[in-house]
């Protein structure tokens, strides 16, 4: 069992270690709607991470990506995220049917700052929304409608520390494990690693939209 010096068990102790003094802007920058800055950031973002929570407490974090601006700013309190083809696990959708609370993290490649949004989400099927978000003639079957309750931008320290946008610090691509390797390690199936990788590559080429 992991041995630790101290487990933080109260807000008072947490704030003793991490005081609020000197961080006024951090707490004043939060808004309950999307201002012009937030809307412009979303227009430039090709990638958003969506967090949801199941009734038993497990958290799901799901990446969503499309051409920049794929998340529609319907108005300053409403976002629309089209749902593209995936693996049909729909963990996030399951969670939202139990708990509508959702959190979003918008990322712009090469940009250090991020945009954080929290609110309530609805799973919808709407002909007009699907038509607006069609790509290559393929319309999404479903979409998420987010009712924004909180929005603020986050500083770039994590990107600076990780050097995420610096290719000279990226690891060799082949050094990191792949999804195919995960399948071979966890799923009982009569396929070789190369065969599983071929399936995934074919899926990526044929089922983007």
pLDDT, one tens digit per residue, over 166-177 is 999 998 888 899
Cα dihedral sign, 160-19-115-29: negative
CA angle, 63 as apex, 167 and 122 as ends, to 5°?
Answer: 155
pLDDT of residue 7: 96
Mean pLDDT of the chain: 94
**Ordered domains of the chain (ranges, CATH):** 28-162 (2.30.110.10), 171-206 (no CATH)
Of the pLDDT bands very low, low, confident and very high (cuts 50, 70, 90), residue 28 is: confident
| Rounded distance between C-alpha atoms, residue 109 and residue 46, angstroms | 8
CB pairs under 8 A, 24+ apart, for 164-172?
A: 165/109, 165/110, 165/111, 165/112
pLDDT of residue 105: 98
pLDDT of residue 133: 98
**CB neighbourhood size of 155 (10 A):** 11
Residue 97 confidence (pLDDT) above 80: yes
pLDDT (mean) for 89-114: 96
Residue 29 confidence (pLDDT) above 90: no
pLDDT (mean) for 65-92: 96
pLDDT (mean) for 27-32: 87
Q: What residues are paired with 59 via a beta bridge?
A: 53
Query: Structure pTM?
Result: 0.92
pLDDT of residue 205: 86
pLDDT (mean) for 185-206: 91
| CA distance to 113, 176, 195, 202, per residue, from 86 (Å) | 28, 22, 20, 13
Residue 138 confidence (pLDDT) above 90: yes
| More reliable by pLDDT, 188 or 111 | 111
93, 60 contact by CB (below 8 A): no
């Amino acid at each position: 069992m992991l041995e630790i010096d101290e487990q933080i068990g109260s807000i008072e102790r947490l704030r003793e270690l991490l005081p609020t003094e000197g961080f006024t802007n951090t707490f004043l920058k939060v808004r309950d709607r999307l201002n012009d800055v937030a809307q412009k950031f979303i227009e430039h973002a090709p990638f958003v991470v969506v967090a949801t929570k199941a009734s038993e407490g497990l958290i799901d974090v799901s990446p969503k990506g499309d051409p920049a601006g794929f998340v529609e700013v319907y108005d300053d309190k409403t976002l629309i995220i089209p749902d593209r083809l995936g693996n049909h696990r729909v963990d996030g959708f399951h969670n939202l049917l139990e708990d509508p609370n959702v959190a979003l993290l918008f990322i712009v490649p090469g940009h250090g700052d991020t945009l954080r949004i929290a609110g309530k989400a609805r799973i919808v099927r709407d002909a007009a929304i699907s038509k607006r978000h069609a790509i290559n003639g393929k319309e999404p079957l479903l979409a998420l409608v987010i009712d924004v309750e909180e929005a603020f931008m986050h500083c770039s320290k994590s990107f600076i520390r990780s050097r995420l946008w610096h290719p000279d610090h990226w690891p060799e691509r082949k050094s990191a494990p792949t999804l195919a390797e995960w399948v071979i390690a966890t799923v009982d199936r009569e396929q070789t690693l190369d065969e599983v990788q071929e399936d995934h590559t074919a899926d990526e080429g044929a089922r983007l939209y």
